[in-house]
């Protein structure tokens, strides 16, 4: 096995598989003595359930395994290592208190098939979380089932479709501004709707006259993100909702950016009929990344009959009190997730809500907005900033001023890695060519923000004086610039025994 060494760090960047480290007879665990009768498995389970062939698992020691995974973990960028300024699909810091609460055995070790009487604490948590989310957003009811923001959107549009169908209407279109996240048109299209894009105005927000031109009785819904993905508050939201409602349509609110609004404004008060929450963007749960996330959906009472069943219900004292799962939703869109959704996320979000309380959440939103504006104020004299002068939770820059040096947004993002930062979201929103989208969130200190700005300013200076070093970045990582135009040429990762020589 060969390993090339990274010039900057002097470390081997290749890591073999545990299977390659396997040595016959090497073990990493000592099992306790058998404390149950030794039975012939085949006679109990039947031959189809028992394998006698070698599973071919790696035979490795504990230290082999610990070092392997610890080494791999150092290859990752992580929000626990530093600012993670990814706009839109933001990953905000997850307080460790949430982790502690989610690991309480009553939550972490409960079996989902326990009878309701044994799940009262958990059902109460779900009910309380629903109430809290409804209060923050101004919605009437909430479902916790969807596994991600995107699935929440799907659920919301399904409910909108069910609502129109229950009224005997078959509407064909969903209107979506051109600044929307890609999941919006995908959710509408998956529900069989034709997606009609509406251009945002030169100031980056949607204008009533542009909506009016496209709003007809064929339109089932407007999907509106507020603040939008340019980090701008849709100031006409109430009028936009009125225009849609006047023609019998509904307004879907993409609530992914609620982190900018808590305690300041509630989507439900602004005319939104249904919205999803991205727990990872607002209530500090880890981002599912296609995995075990959570994207609860809040609805106004008109859509409540269509909520995914079952729904947690607080029983009256006359029914014996406590909490129960209500399956009686004849107009429900159906179940979206097994059991109760991704429970660990719900517990973390509830812990976050309770530990901050009303004033704490309000303070979070104010700090998130202040931080984004601080970044924009420090960067806009050097980088092209197409919108502003002030923003909400995130700010957008572009590579326009880097063009004379032949340096692009992609180059800048790669060079930021050398400064120890996960790159921001790039080339989104689509309405900004060469977009660099930065969402610092509320957790960064002033010094942390200044360090990040200094890194960006340093890259901008380097782009003018030594563009090659930016265009060939990253230089300090285990792998250099990948040829992203040829994904088929994937690097083979191998372990170099020499790198372990001084272990």
Ligand X SMILES: Cc1ncc(COP(=O)(O)O)c(C=O)c1O
Give me the residue whose beta carbon is nearest to ligand X.
149
* 196, β-bridge pairs: 175
Q: How many CB atoms lie within 10 A of CB 292?
A: 15
Using rule CB under 6 A, residue 185 touches ligand X: no
Binding to ligand X, residues 288-347 (CB under 6 A):
293, 295
The Cα 80–Cα 77 span in angstroms is 9
Number of residues that bind ligand X (CB under 6 A): 15
Q: Specify the residue, 225 or 324, whose C-beta has the smaller distance to ligand X.
A: 225
Q: How far is the CB of 162 from ligand X (least distance, A)?
A: 21
Using rule CB under 6 A, residue 231 touches ligand X: no
Q: How far is the CB of 288 from ligand X (least distance, A)?
A: 6
- Binding pattern for the stretch 72-91 against ligand X, x by CB under 6 A and - elsewhere: ----------------xx--
Q: How far is the CB of 256 from ligand X (least distance, A)?
A: 3
The Cα 22–Cα 390 span in angstroms is 57
Checking 323-332 for CB contacts under 8 A at 24+ apart, the result is 323/116, 323/120, 323/123, 323/124, 323/126, 323/127, 324/116, 324/123, 325/116, 325/123, 329/305, 330/305, 331/162, 331/166, 331/305, 331/306, 332/305, 332/306, 332/307, 332/308
Q: How far is the CB of 443 from ligand X (least distance, A)?
A: 17
Q: Specify the residue, 183 or 409, whose C-beta has the smaller distance to ligand X.
A: 183
Q: Specify the residue, 14 or 254, whose C-beta has the smaller distance to ligand X.
A: 254
**Interface residue with ligand X, options 225, 284, 373, 441 (CB under 6 A):** 225
How deeply is 268 buried, as exposed, middle or buried, from its count of CB atoms within 10 A (0-12, 13-18, 19+)?
buried
Q: CB under 6 A: which stretch of 92-100, 144-152, 196-204, 375-383 binds ligand X?
A: 144-152
Q: Specify the residue, 211 or 437, whose C-beta has the smaller distance to ligand X.
A: 437
The Cα 501–Cα 252 span in angstroms is 59
- Residue showing tokens 């002030």: 390
**Interface residue with ligand X, options 94, 183, 284, 371 (CB under 6 A):** 183
- Binding pattern for the stretch 10-39 against ligand X, x by CB under 6 A and - elsewhere: ------------------------------
Q: What DSSP character marks residue 311? A: E
Using rule CB under 6 A, residue 462 touches ligand X: no
The Cα 205–Cα 233 span in angstroms is 8
Handedness of CA 461, 462, 465, 468 (dihedral sign): negative
- Catalog residues that contact ligand X under the rule CB under 6 A: 88-89, 148-150, 181, 183, 225, 229, 254, 256, 278, 281, 293, 295
């Amino acid at each position: 096995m060969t390993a090339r060494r990274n010039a900057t760090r002097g470390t081997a960047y290749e890591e073999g598989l545990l299977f390659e480290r396997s040595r016959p007879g090497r073990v990493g665990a000592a099992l306790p003595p058998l404390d149950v009768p030794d039975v012939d498995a085949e006679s109990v389970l039947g031959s189809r359930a028992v394998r006698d062939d070698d599973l071919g698992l790696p035979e490795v020691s504990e230290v082999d395994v610990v070092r392997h995974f610890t080494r791999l973990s150092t290859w990752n960028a992580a929000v626990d290592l530093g600012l993670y300024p990814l706009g839109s699909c933001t990953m905000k810091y997850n307080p460790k208190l949430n982790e502690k609460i989610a690991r309480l055995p009553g939550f972490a070790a409960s079996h989902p098939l326990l009878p309701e009487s044994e799940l009262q604490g958990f059902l109460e948590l779900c009910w309380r979380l629903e109430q809290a989310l409804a209060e923050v957003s101004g919605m009437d009811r909430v479902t916790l089932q969807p596994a991600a923001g995107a699935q929440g959107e799907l659920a919301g549009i399904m409910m909108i479709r069910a609502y129109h169908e229950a009224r005997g209407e078959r509407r064909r279109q969903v209107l979506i501004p051109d600044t929307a996240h890609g999941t919006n048109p995908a959710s509408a299209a998956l529900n069989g709707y034709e997606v009609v894009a509406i251009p945002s105005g030169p100031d980056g927000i949607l204008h009533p006259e542009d909506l009016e031109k496209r709003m007809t009785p064929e339109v089932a819904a407007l999907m509106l993100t507020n603040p939008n993905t340019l980090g701008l508050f849709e100031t006409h939201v109430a009028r936009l909702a009125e225009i849609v409602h006047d023609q019998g349509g509904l307004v879907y609110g993409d609530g992914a950016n609620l982190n900018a609004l808590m305690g300041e404004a509630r989507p439900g008060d602004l005319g939104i009929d249904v919205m999803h929450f991205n727990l990872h963007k607002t209530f500090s749960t880890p981002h599912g990344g296609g995995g075990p996330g959570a994207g609860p959906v809040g609805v106004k009472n008109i859509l409540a009959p269509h909520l995914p069943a079952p729904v947690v219900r607080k029983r009256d004292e006359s029914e014996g009190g406590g909490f129960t799962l209500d399956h009686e939703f004849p107009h429900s869109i159906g179940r979206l997730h097994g059991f109760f959704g991704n429970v660990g996320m719900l517990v973390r979000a509830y812990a976050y809500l309770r530990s901050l309380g009303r004033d704490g959440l309000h303070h979070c939103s104010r700090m998130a907005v202040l931080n984004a504006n601080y970044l924009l104020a420090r960067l806009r004299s050097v980088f092209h900033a197409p919108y502003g002068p002030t923003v909400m939770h995130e700010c957008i820059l572009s590579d326009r001023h880097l063009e004379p040096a032949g340096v692009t947004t992609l180059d800048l993002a790669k060079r930021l890695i050398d400064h120890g930062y996960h790159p921001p979201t790039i080339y989104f929103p689509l309405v900004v060519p060469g977009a660099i989208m930065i969402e610092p969130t509320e957790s960064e200190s002033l010094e942390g923000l200044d360090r990040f700005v200094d890194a960006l300013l340093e890259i901008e200076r380097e782009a003018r004086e030594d563009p090659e070093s930016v265009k060939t970045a990253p230089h300090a990582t285990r792998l250099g610039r990948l040829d992203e135009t040829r994904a088929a040429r994937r690097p083979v990762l191998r372990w170099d025994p020499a790198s372990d020589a001084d272990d």
